[in-house]
Structure 1
Amino acid sequence: MLRSLSKALFGSMLILVSACSSIQPRDPSEKSTSFQYGYQEDSSLAKFFESDNRDPKTETGFYPLNQGHDALLARIALIESAGKSLDLQYYIYRNDETSQLMTWRLYEAAQRGVRIRLLLDDMQKRNDAGMAELNAHPNIEIRLFNPHQYRSARIFAFASDFSRLNRRMHNKALIADSVSAIVGGRNIGNEYFSFESNVEFGDFDLMLYGETVQQTADQFDLYWNSLYAIPMEWIVPGSEKVSDELIQAQVKKLQLEEKFSTSTYNFKLLPLYQKLQQGTLELYWGPGRIWFDLPDKIATQESQLVDNLSELLAGIEHSFVLISPYFVPTESGTKALAEAAKRGVNITIITNSLASNDVFAVHGWYAKYRKDLVEAGIQLWEVKASASIKNKWSLTGSSRSSLHAKAMLIDEHTLFVGSMNWDPRSAELNTEMAVVIEQPEYVQESLHQLPQQLRANAYQIILRDSDIAWLDVATGETLHSEPEASVWRKMGAWFSGILPIEDQL
């Protein structure tokens, strides 16, 4: 059962009703909402943050999760400590060790009476019957966002209804008791948590406490109660609840307890573990807000998040750092960035190199704009596939590193962290969310560390004889071809760049 939990796509309720005769419309008055649990003193979660004498009703405290093992530990800690509710919203929820661990902990929480709501996008194929058995637990509800109408013929479903199924829920959030939340770029899977994967994503999210937690919960409720969030029991009706005996047998077979407590990946060895146990977690504090697209963006293509972000970016005075793994600025975006640079804004853009990018088609279109960006005076950096991601357990066997964090540092005081890439797909097709916090201390610390990190782990894009070149600042070597990339990846990126697919990237 733990192996069967996967992300699912849900479409418009009306479309699904016409495509699947077993699915019936939901009574619009039957809504499920987050508990207004807030900042009650009796919440066991509050002990994690009790060392900070700040008012969580008017400010946001956050702890940065920039290492994979800390990010997984934080999620497990919130799940294990929740007393009333757990709401999870993800684009990808894999079927591997880290996702199995989370599913097991969620099941245990449900067994002790915690209400679990799990909202998954349906791009990833999963075992519907397995999810339905988990969903049959009285304390677990699973919904799929914008699902395929043909569950066993997904390619046919996609081909026959491309316009709808091409639009996805990319939001990523976990909310525990409305007391704490985790928001950022990570999906659920080994490569996001530094655990035994041939690729390791350098990712980033924030553990939140304070005013933005309820905003995150409100965002979740909008998606959960939307027409596009289809209950699992409508897709697979009449399922029996998974038995506790089967869950325990699978846990034992998969050796989940041992893999995360007695082997190389041991939570108890982490400094974050001790801070959580002792209630000595130090947070950065500042005014914050959650920005998000409305669920019906998949029908309207209107982005509330883009509107908010455009207003924020229009007010930039002197500095802007953009971190985006998939960076397709488009002609108009490139022009806007160049104009900002020419009026004196110091702009740094960090994205993947061809070798570190897991979607070479994106790189093919991004590459068209590199020269214009560099000529405008923008500092452009591409992360090495061989970058050493800072990690307690090194790369845990990973053969390739890939940037997956999505963040912005603005005017040395504003931090933007979320699910949104700087590309047409995030702007127009997928729904996205982000947290924006005014926190000069953290932003300035990050800016201070950035040059050293870039020198060690990225190539600077420069011009040599009017052509693009890659400067390895660490060695002083200048390269004149996409570094670390095979000839096949180079050919694939080039070919993608001549196809008319920019608006899909």
Structure 2
Amino acid sequence: MSKARLRRLAWILPLLLVALVGSGWLLADHLTPAASGAPSWTLPASGPATPLDREAAPLLTAHPGQTGVLWLSDGLDAFAARSAISQRAGRSLDVMYYIWKDDIPGHLLADQLYQAAQRGVRVRLLLDDLNAHGLDPHMLAIAAHPNIDVRLYNPIRNRGGFWRLLEMLQRVFSINQRMHNKAWIADNQVAIIGGRNIGAEYFNARDDVNFRDLDLMLLGPAVNQASTIFDQYWNSQAVVPIDALNPQSQAELDRLLLRLERESRLSQAAPYLARVRQRITLPAVRQSHRLQWSASIAVVADPPLKHRNSPRQDWLVTRIIANLGSAAERMQLISPYFVPGQDGNQALIAMRRQGIAIELVTNSLGATDVAAVHSGWKRYRQPLVEAGVQVFELKRRGRRAGIAVPFGSSAASLHTKAYLVDGRRGFVGSFNLDPRSATVNTEMGVVFDDPVLGQRLQQEFAWLAASDRSYRLGLDQQGRLQWRDGDGHLHAHEPDTRWWLRGWVWLLGLLPIESQL
């Protein structure tokens, strides 16, 4: 090839790429698949009472106007709770998730949806499409059931190969906007809201990770709010039925059912099924003594079209900033990814100088699954410690390789996302304290204003910050960061890491990527 032709290609190829991406930026709303699904809404409680209706009724009568909360920090309990309410559902299951893994617990919970549909329960399953790639055969198989409808948030119309890659390049800006919400709602009576996706690491059944997450199971009026949010997403212009992108197959459904039946007999499934047998009735009823009741509970979320026509005052981040800014005495923050930004960091330092106690638990570099996010956290860490913020970083534990990657494997030690202000105003949900949750993804969670619930969240914070689980950061005599271990040992650099990983994080910190972290 001549030099002249190479020079022309050197100009033409970048121009073509700019034109491709530019067309996606200008025409993103017109390039996305049309929302072709028929509208549907939460089913009213009519006809014969379902098992969940009957079991919830006496508790709701005893606590009028209040919502009961069951804390699900144990992974197997969180799995069993989803299974138990699905088995007791008699009317509807509305389920929405950012990630649904193609693994044993993912298959077992998919089977719960299928078994409910077989009983006549209407099932609506909403998944973020970016992480659903590769699951099409399974989800299409489930969607072949007449009582199951599967839809995808912000989907890619080309499901594989070169054309999928080309579409991702063209729509790089719009594809970046994802649905990070998590909810499992049964009969509009019980809802599980929190930080967990569906997969083995989220339910503590893998022996190669040390994982901590948190869900809240709700019983009462706040469940109606969760159902309203689900309906808004389900019927939004950002959501497309999966069968509009791929054809359904009854044969594929038959193959999937055979696979699910075989997997239920595998040893890997035993811990999940054993815990389900222990919790086979509604956990909120069988364990009613563990329920905490409050009239100051609400389920909140970003609007589904957050980036198109929703004013910023309707975004969840606006409410969270206002809540955190109202602290008068104490603030406790739990976030796997903590990237406050320059303004947020200065606000925290100013509050600390006003005498407000601030404590933070996040992942250490050795524990995180996204090194790029740690590079963002790293630049804000020392000023916070110097200002007197109590910073704890969760340790890497378990038999992991210790390799953090730029875009994540979701195998971090800490996945809980929560905060508590002045011991009573709190949040538990999907919202990380970082730019991506604030301005890019949609998020969802539970807010409360209750000292009893606040005390329970304080216990969760104390468990995470304990010296056998977390390093406490401080400064040496030269003003450099150091990590204090539970036995008093001091580390002069990021514990449980090697030089190449620390170097990689330093290099990532030079890139202008903070808005995407």
Q: TM-score surpassing 0.5? A: yes
Deviations 1:335-384 (A, max 9, x none): 01111111121110110000100001100110101111011111111000
Q: Is 1:128 the counterpart of 2:136 in the alignment?
A: yes
CA distance in 1, matches of 2:207, 2:398: 15
Q: Is the contact between residue 87 and residue 176 of structure 1 (CA under 8 Å) also seen in structure 2? A: yes
Q: Is 1:177 the counterpart of 2:187 in the alignment?
A: yes
Q: Is the contact between residue 184 and residue 206 of structure 1 (CA under 8 Å) also seen in structure 2? A: yes
**CA shift at 1:213, angstroms?**
0.3
With structure 2 as the length reference, what TM-score do the two structures score?
0.85
Give the 3 Å change call, closer, same or farther, for CA 128–247 of structure 1 in structure 2: closer
Corresponding position of 1:470: 483
CA distance in 1, matches of 2:503, 2:373: 13
Answer with 120-129 or 331-340: which moved more.
Answer: 120-129
Q: Is the contact between residue 49 and residue 280 of structure 1 (CA under 8 Å) also seen in structure 2? A: no
Corresponding position of 1:141: 149
Corresponding position of 2:283: 276
Q: Is 1:220 the counterpart of 2:227 in the alignment?
A: no
Deviations 1:72-100 (A, max 9, x none): 00000111111010011100000000000
Corresponding position of 2:165: 155
CA distance in 2, matches of 1:250, 1:236: 21
Q: Is the contact between residue 180 and residue 209 of structure 1 (CA under 8 Å) also seen in structure 2? A: yes
Give the 3 Å change call, closer, same or farther, for CA 476–254 of structure 1 in structure 2: same
Equivalent of 2:65 in 58, 61, 66: 58
Equivalent of 2:174 in 157, 164, 174: 164
Deviations 1:274-330 (A, max 9, x none): 883973423111121112110111335835211111222222111111000011111
CA distance in 2, matches of 1:401, 1:31: 38
Deviations 1:165-223 (A, max 9, x none): 01100011111000000000000000000112533431101001111101000000000
Corresponding position of 1:72: 79
Corresponding position of 1:246: 255
Q: Is 1:297 the counterpart of 2:267 in the alignment?
A: no
**Bigger helix fraction:** 2
**CA shift at 1:234, angstroms?**
1.1
Equivalent of 2:507 in 476, 481, 495: 495
Give the 3 Å change call, closer, same or farther, for CA 17–138 of structure 1 in structure 2: farther
Corresponding position of 1:81: 88
Equivalent of 1:113 in 117, 120, 126: 120
Q: Is the contact between residue 338 and residue 432 of structure 2 (CA under 8 Å) also seen in structure 1? A: yes
Give me the CA root mean square deviation.
2.7
Corresponding position of 1:357: 368
Q: Is the contact between residue 67 and residue 221 of structure 2 (CA under 8 Å) also seen in structure 1? A: yes
Answer with 432-441 or 209-218: which moved more.
Answer: 432-441
Q: Is 1:326 the counterpart of 2:337 in the alignment?
A: yes
Q: Is the contact between residue 328 and residue 424 of structure 1 (CA under 8 Å) also seen in structure 2? A: yes
Letter of the structure 2 residue corresponding to residue 145 of structure 1: Y
Q: Is the contact between residue 131 and residue 142 of structure 1 (CA under 8 Å) also seen in structure 2? A: yes
Letter of the structure 1 residue corresponding to residue 67 of structure 2: T
Letter of the structure 1 residue corresponding to residue 43 of structure 2: F
The 3-state SS of whatever aligns with 1:351 is strand
Q: How many residues align?
A: 473
For the pair shown, which has the larger CA radius of gyration, 1 or 2? Answer: 2
Deviations 1:89-144 (A, max 9, x none): 10000000000000111111111111110000011212424422321211010101
Corresponding position of 1:208: 218
**CA shift at 1:164, angstroms?**
0.3
In the alignment, structure 2 segments of 5+ residues that lack a partner are 1-23, 400-410
Q: Is the contact between residue 129 and residue 155 of structure 2 (CA under 8 Å) also seen in structure 1? A: yes
Q: Is 1:190 the counterpart of 2:200 in the alignment?
A: yes
CA distance in 1, matches of 2:441, 2:48: 38
Q: Is 1:285 the counterpart of 2:293 in the alignment?
A: yes
In the alignment, structure 1 segments of 5+ residues that lack a partner are 1-10, 389-399
Q: Is the contact between residue 332 and residue 358 of structure 2 (CA under 8 Å) also seen in structure 1? A: yes
CA distance in 2, matches of 1:344, 1:387: 38
CA distance in 2, matches of 1:300, 1:334: 29
Corresponding position of 2:413: 402
The 3-state SS of whatever aligns with 2:468 is helix
Q: Is the contact between residue 93 and residue 185 of structure 2 (CA under 8 Å) also seen in structure 1? A: yes
Give the 3 Å change call, closer, same or farther, for CA 51–467 of structure 1 in structure 2: farther
Corresponding position of 1:395: none
CA distance in 2, matches of 1:300, 1:199: 41
CA distance in 2, matches of 1:57, 1:259: 42
Q: Is 1:385 the counterpart of 2:393 in the alignment?
A: no
With structure 1 as the length reference, what TM-score do the two structures score?
0.87
Pairing 1:336-355 to 2, within 5 Å after superposition = 336-355=347-366
The 3-state SS of whatever aligns with 1:199 is coil
Q: Is 1:308 the counterpart of 2:330 in the alignment?
A: no
Q: Is the contact between residue 115 and residue 140 of structure 1 (CA under 8 Å) also seen in structure 2? A: yes
Letter of the structure 2 residue corresponding to residue 142 of structure 1: V
Equivalent of 1:484 in 496, 502, 508: 496
**CA shift at 1:488, angstroms?**
2.6
**CA shift at 1:446, angstroms?**
4.0
CA distance in 2, matches of 1:379, 1:113: 52
Letter of the structure 2 residue corresponding to residue 502 of structure 1: E
Q: Is the contact between residue 209 and residue 398 of structure 2 (CA under 8 Å) also seen in structure 1? A: no
Equivalent of 1:44 in 41, 44, 51: 51
